[in-house]
Chain A
Amino acid sequence: MAAVKRYLRLHLSNLFGALARALQQPTGTLLTVLVIAIALALPAGLRVFVNNAGALSQGWEGAADFTVYLDLGIDEARARELADDIAARADVAETTLISRNEALEEFRAQSGFGEALDALEENPLPHTLVVRPAAADVGAIEKLALDLDALEATALVQIDTEWVARLQSILRLIARVVDIATVLLGLAVVLVIGNTIRLEINNRRGEIEVCKLVGGSDGFIRRPFLYLGFCYGLAGAVAAAVMIFVALVLIRPPVRALAELYASSYTLAGLSGRETLVLLGGGAALGWIGAWLAAARHLRQIEPS
């Protein structure tokens, strides 16, 4: 118990020591933290953008609906039966039957050809099923389209998956680019913190020598630097989260104005709680790793003489 307490006290004193040391040089610390923050805010911000684009494309999934025109010979009862059958499929979210009478009424109301239609003896429109697929991926949608086309009662299946496919591949491409940017900028954070810690080690060369002379182990000497790296990384991540928050506050009103033009209630989503935790944890971990690499490399070179 006493050992645990001593251990915790040692680590806490290292943590506060690192904080005090960072605050002793406010300008340098601020600049370092800002560089780290920008390096973290870029990939995190891009991810927010991709998330929003993904959510937006979900909102447009109605555009991937099929329109299944049935043979003119099919009566309404049979059409209703078919609609129920299709709706029961696992890959179908929803099926709506538009009967030929409804279709005619709608056409009459919207097209302005009312009188011309009256001249027709018979309703030229077939029963129509609007099928909304359950899955968003292109393969499943295409299979569903083939199945529907194969039905005996089907006259024509109208589907436009191409632009959905395009949008999805673009999003996948962007997501991949964001992944690569995340790795590269994470590496940049490690290097920035590693370099800062290297300078700090050089500044404290005398202190390190004394610690080694009185029997300080590598771990003991390394620990304050690891905490310093940890603090830099965490502070950078907090600053990055604030940057993203401010950017979203600035972007939200024009996005809302744009969405209103499209009669949409779409609003931008920010970082979720989980994403914020990943950002903060990732920043702290990168700081720790950068400090560890610098410490492993440079502390060994300092020996009392």
Chain B
Amino acid sequence: MIRFENVYKRYTNGREALSGISFNMEPGEMAFLTGPSGAGKSTLLKLIALIERPTRGSVLVNKRNTSRVSRRQIPRFRQRIGVVFQDHKLLYDRSVFANVALPLVIAGLGTRETGRRVRAALDQVGLLGRESHAPITLSTGEQQRVGIARAVASRPDVVIADEPTGNLDPDLSLDIMRLFERFNDVGVTLLIATHDLELIDRLRHRRIRLVGGQIVPDTDRPPSLSQAP
């Protein structure tokens, strides 16, 4: 579902964020992307969402080589990918419903179908009945769940998340990860960047560990303290 083949990414300022990354994720797989700050986790996710393009190598998402996606085709390409951010990136001048509905409106769904899917997504994240609330009146954890509902509302093939629990306390973080697992159970491919090793030690999923822009071996269940940055 996600395939990196010898990917390099060098920014215009000369910094090389990724150096020869290769990995493959099967459909329905869930993986954590770990590593210290500045290891290239965010860059890797940006290559998947076509926010950045690789300097060398190829990135394939859902068997599609991203280098063959023209600028004009990017919107349609992104509609098949759900993205979750550390800072939620909600639109604070509209309701929870409007936020979750945004990708569906963009995809051109009818009002009834949009309403149905928004309520389904909010139900899955435990926020049904809060549609008319303003995001700002929700707690940080709830806002993040609205962000997740928005990412999954259009039923994407792939969901990527960049430090989705970065601002949350441990209990809420675990809630969010359990939520991702439930989406994974219904077949969504998930790649989640996080440096919260303590948290992911409690979950059994594949890890891709980045250090200095390269993938380094990671044992299946490492002692958490030795892995801490």
Contacts and interface: CB of A to CB of B under 8 A. Distances in A.
B108 A215 contact: no
A305 to B, nearest CB: 7
A207 B94 CA distance: 11
Given A6-B108, A303-B51, A213 B91 contact: no
Interface string A183-211: 00000000000000000000000110111
B206 interface: no
Nearest to B93: A207
B75 A212 contact: yes
A211 B99 CA distance: 10
Interface range, A side = 20 to 34
Nearest to A300: B71
Q: Which of A6, A213, A220 has the most CB of B within 10 A?
A: A213
A215 B157 CA distance: 14
B106 A213 contact: no
Contacts, number: 55
Interface in A82-96: none
Contact of A210 (B79, B89, B154): B89
B204 interface: no
Nearest to B79: A215
Q: Which of A6, A209, A304 gathers the greatest number of chain B CB atoms within 10 Å? A: A304
B75 A217 contact: yes
Contacts of A303: 51
Q: How big is chain B's contact interface, by range?
A: 20 to 34
A10 B102 CA distance: 12
A210 to B, nearest CB: 5
Contacts of B90: 210
Interface string A262-305: 00000000000000000000000000000000000000000111
Interface of B: 49, 51, 72, 75-80, 83, 89-91, 93, 102-103, 105-108, 110-111, 150, 154
Interface of A: 2, 6, 9-10, 206-207, 209-218, 220, 303-305
21 contacts: A6-B110, A9-B111, A206-B89, A206-B91, A207-B91, A207-B93, A211-B106, A214-B83, A214-B106, A214-B154, A215-B76, A215-B79, A215-B80, A215-B107, A217-B76, A217-B106, A218-B72, A218-B75, A220-B75, A303-B51, A305-B51
